[in-house]
A and B are shown apart, each in its own frame.
Chain A
Amino acid sequence: MSLASRRTVFLVAAVGFAALFLWGLAGLPDFGAYDGVYGETLNRVALRQRHATNLVAAVTFDYRGFDTMGEEYILFAAVVGVAILMRAQRDEEEDAPDDDARDRLTPRTSDAVRVLGLGVFGPIVLFGIYVVAHGHLTPGGGFQGGVVLATGVVLVYLAGRYSALRGITPGASAEFAEAAGAAGYVGVGLLGLLASGTFLFNWLPFGTTGLLTSAGMIPFINLFVGLEVAGGFVLILTEFLEQTLVVREVDSGGPEGKRERDRS
């Protein structure tokens, strides 16, 4: 279709779509008139049943923890997918890492960014760990804390060089962390199966409400999710950086050309 006809088709259809959507929305309860039975029930029982002051965490990691396991694996699959799609091609080769793009000069990282980046790195990592560990008590948890942790690694790249980034995440460590975190969630589920006969059963003592050691298995699940998320984000970051800084298209001659140049 031409651009004009595509727009026409879409706009006409979008009017119908909007009408349908509004018709559906009109059937929702009025603003403030919520009487959702699930929310009401959980508000009544969840704190008593799970000793988690963050009820959202109790829902996502316990009552509906099975969904969250699937969601963790969606991230896992996305990261593995990025790694697959960005793997080195037959007509590409890996070069010594070069922080500058070949065809243009970039200014050196300023001292202000270096000092600030290195200075903030420690607190950021600590904060990330805090957010992961307190997921069952306050807003946050493995997903959010994991991203914060990965941000710390980004700072190392910003403040230093690519080699510094690889220095703190050597080899396949990020991939391993991601896989271990993903496996850990399933492992918690299987422990429940072994301990009580039901997958993902929360069988640990629930402790004292408000303490770090409360809510049974929920903090452990948060730790694994945090590991998975941090590892996954670092992996995506290094994949993208590798694509721009390390992987070079072989100019001519395909793999043969590469081998020749390697010899010379």
Chain B
Amino acid sequence: MDSLTPLPLAVSLLGAAGLTALRGVLGRRVFELAAVAVSAAVALLLAALLVASIEAPIVYWFGDWTPVDGVALGISFVIEPLGAALATLAAVLVTASFVFTWRFFDNAEHLFHVLMLVFLAGMVGFALTGDLFTLFVFFELMSVSAFSLAGYKTEEEGSLQGALNFAVTNSIGAFLILAGIGLLYGRTGALNLAQLGEALAGAPPDGLVITSFVFLVTGYLVKAAAVPFHFWLADAYATAPTSVCVLFAGVLSELGLYAVARVYWTVFDGAFAGHLPALRAIVIGLGTLTALVGAAMCFPQRHIKRLLAFATVSHVGLLLIGVGIFTPTALAGTFIYIVTDGLVKASLFFCTGILLHRLASVDELGCDGLGAVMPLTRVLFVLGGLGVAGLYPFGTYLGKSLIEDEAAVLGYPWVTGVFIAASVVTAGAVLRVAARVFWGVGPGDAYDIKSEAEGDEVQPEGSRGGSGSTPASMWAMAALLIAAAFVSGLIPQLAGRVEVAAEHFVDRRAYADLVLAGVPPPEVGLPPAESSFKGALIGLASAVAAGMIAAAGLWHMRLPRTITRGATALLGPPFARLRALHSGHVGDYVAWLTVGVAVLGGLMAVMMG
């Protein structure tokens, strides 16, 4: 198994370079087949590593530089189930995207595949590494390839602008990460996560430790798109090709959150353990803000990609709450939610890609009723909405209920309310789109909310103008992913198994012993199976409520006057202000990012310093 460890990364990088070198020689069909083969091979290799890492975590030292007296000379991969699962998800989504875009792109399509493979390598390395600086290198590799992928549709107005906003904000995030690494290295002389954790443990956190934590976390949260670092996301999603959005929404944001959890539990846990309640309050607060802002921005959108983008922001907030509870059970819930929600969101973006292919539009009002000719996509889209709501047996219900229960135990019972609110509103928005686009329900012209979709001409991807049929390669991918999310909730003992992995994930001492001394981690028994009946019930209620919200969005003018007037008076001004903040001006985004760092640092200083 050991010699398998570097292969996913080596295969994707070698594939990218090899395809570039051979692109003049290979025919288009062969080239695309080769790209699919490479990403599928990477997915299989990662799945094998995932299975192996469930038995025992894998530590792999590149160049055979094993640590000497607790000092890491080289760089290690530390493969445990949670990171391996994320990497596998990334490879599966890249493969699905390749199949989805089969003979779909026009000029320079070759380079698209090359860049996607490099992007995949970046995500894989990011998820598997056990070194803080390598985490930065792969953060950059993901970023640089993602910037160009976001701007891929250069013929569209705003595409380069979206990519540029993405590039500027994320580069500032990268600078912050580098500054954080510099501070930590200056103190400890170490870059290995385990060694850093050992060096920081025991002493109470001082200014350097707190500052480096804030810088690192901010950098990762820019990628994850937590408020107020999220502004770039909707711009980038709205203009990126849908097959790229699948990856952004399905796994890129989630990797940012993974890095927060990884770095906290390996490096900072020893120093911060005594201040956990304060840290918990800060991160849960940030997550709540993100979940609510995302939901509030999601519902009024009529540009379907922007709508899904803000749904992603909202769900990132929920996931951040899950990370911020800082317990293994909540972490297990977060991971179940990350993977299942990633599958649901990816499927929804594929469905949107089908809309774009058939109708040459992603404007909810412009597509009013036109989707009636697509019975299959209609079903998939509705299923996606129900998955977002967390209807049993979609695995999303299980993840959410684990986080909610754990939050209640720790004195945050209102977190359940945040989860329900965010899920209901975002799922309601998705269901509203489905009802209007696929059934033509609701009066289209009476809708008065202005949207960025207005005047935004969207070029169909591939063919000009609408197309008469949906290729099987397109709907099959959407169906496959939503089916995977559907059955994931039925896997026996899923929660217990993930909890075992999470227990290992949060055990900093065992991690350090494993990496620096090769001591295998202690056994963790499978926790007894718990019924998640309550979670399933909440999921059902959320789905029903989402349907009602969707109906309210469609027929709001039929509601009693007093209700609509009251709602407008109450919600109108703050909504308008919130919308105005999302100005598309990158200077604004940077200003808010700076505010975020200062506030986060200030809160940490006051509550922990």
Interface residues, chain A, with chain B CB atoms under 8 Å away: 1, 6, 9-10, 12-17, 19-21, 23-29, 35-42, 62-67, 69-71, 73-74, 76-78, 80-85, 87-91, 171-172, 175-176, 178-180, 182-183, 186-187, 189-190, 192-193, 196-202
Distance (whole angstroms) from the CB of B582 to the closest CB of chain A: 11
A9 CB contact (under 8 Å) in B68, B138, B591? B591
A41 CB contact (under 8 Å) in B18, B68, B588, B597? B68
Return 28 A-B CB contacts under 8 Å, by A number: A1-B583, A1-B588, A10-B591, A13-B594, A17-B597, A20-B597, A25-B208, A26-B207, A28-B187, A28-B208, A35-B189, A37-B190, A65-B63, A66-B62, A66-B134, A67-B131, A67-B134, A76-B17, A77-B122, A84-B115, A88-B107, A90-B155, A182-B13, A187-B14, A193-B10, A197-B2, A200-B62, A201-B63
A17 touches B601 (CB 8 A): yes
B592 touches A186 (CB 8 A): no
Chain B residues whose C-beta falls within 8 Å of the C-beta of A179 in the assembled complex:
17-18, 20-21
B20 CB contact (under 8 Å) in A36, A80, A89, A192? A80
* B599 in the interface (beta carbon within 8 A): yes
B10 CB contact (under 8 Å) in A36, A37, A199? A199
Closest to A29 in B: B186
Please report whether the interface of chain A is mostly helix, strand, loop or mixed according to DSSP: helix
Query: Which residues of B578-609 are within 8 A (CB) of A?
Result: 580-581, 583, 585, 587-588, 590-592, 594-595, 597-599, 601-602, 605
* B559 in the interface (beta carbon within 8 A): no
* B39 in the interface (beta carbon within 8 A): no
Q: Report the count of interface residues on B (CB-CB < 8 A).
A: 87
Mark each residue of chain B from 62 to 73: 1 if its CB lies under 8 Å from any CB of chain A, else 0: 111100100101
* B118 in the interface (beta carbon within 8 A): yes
Query: Which residues of B91-129 are within 8 A (CB) of A?
Result: 107-108, 111-112, 114-115, 118-119, 121-122, 125
* B147 in the interface (beta carbon within 8 A): yes
* A20 touching B605 in the complex, CB below 8 Å, given contacts A69-B13, A77-B141: yes
B594 touches A10 (CB 8 A): yes
* B6 in the interface (beta carbon within 8 A): yes
Mark each residue of chain B from 178 to 196: 1 if its CB lies under 8 Å from any CB of chain A, else 0: 0100010111111100000
Which of B18, B61, B68, B211 has most chain A Cβ within 10 Å?
A: B211
* B145 in the interface (beta carbon within 8 A): yes
Which of B111, B138, B188 has most chain A Cβ within 10 Å?
A: B111
A186 touches B214 (CB 8 A): no
Chain B residues whose C-beta falls within 8 Å of the C-beta of A198 in the assembled complex:
61-64
Closest to A175 in B: B20
Closest to B114 in A: A80
Q: In the complex, what distance in Å separates the CA atom of A1 from the CA atom of B581?
A: 7
Q: In the complex, what distance in Å separates the CA atom of A16 from the CA atom of B145?
A: 32
Chain A residues whose C-beta falls within 8 Å of the C-beta of B144 in the assembled complex:
74, 77-78, 81
Interface residues, chain B, with chain A CB atoms under 8 Å away: 2-3, 5-6, 10, 13-14, 16-18, 20-21, 24, 60-65, 68, 71, 73-75, 107-108, 111-112, 114-115, 118-119, 121-122, 125, 131, 133-134, 137-138, 140-141, 144-145, 147-148, 151-152, 154-155, 160, 163, 179, 183, 185-191, 206-212, 214-215, 580-581, 583, 585, 587-588, 590-592, 594-595, 597-599, 601-602, 605
Chain A residues whose C-beta falls within 8 Å of the C-beta of B212 in the assembled complex:
24
Please report whether the interface of chain B is mostly helix, strand, loop or mixed according to DSSP: helix
* A13 touching B75 in the complex, CB below 8 Å, given contacts A35-B189, A74-B137, A77-B118: no
6 nearest interchain CB pairs? A27-B208, A24-B211, A81-B148, A16-B598, A36-B189, A199-B6
B598 CB contact (under 8 Å) in A17, A85, A183? A17
B210 CB contact (under 8 Å) in A24, A25, A83? A24
A183 touches B118 (CB 8 A): no
Chain B residues whose C-beta falls within 8 Å of the C-beta of A183 in the assembled complex:
14, 17-18, 21
Chain A residues whose C-beta falls within 8 Å of the C-beta of B125 in the assembled complex:
70
Chain A residues whose C-beta falls within 8 Å of the C-beta of B207 in the assembled complex:
23-24, 26-27
Distance (whole angstroms) from the CB of B146 to the closest CB of chain A: 9
Which of A15, A76, A90, A178 has most chain B Cβ within 10 Å?
A: A76
Q: In the complex, what distance in Å separates the CA atom of A220 from the CA atom of B144?
A: 26
A13 touches B597 (CB 8 A): yes
Q: In the complex, what distance in Å separates the CA atom of A175 from the CA atom of B18?
A: 11
B208 touches A26 (CB 8 A): yes
Chain B residues whose C-beta falls within 8 Å of the C-beta of A24 in the assembled complex:
183, 207-208, 210-212, 215
Add 13 more A-B contacts to A17-B601, A24-B211, A24-B212 (CB < 8 A): A1-B580, A17-B594, A23-B211, A24-B207, A64-B75, A65-B62, A65-B63, A70-B125, A73-B118, A74-B140, A76-B118, A175-B21, A183-B21
Q: In the complex, what distance in Å separates the CA atom of A169 from the CA atom of B233?
A: 39
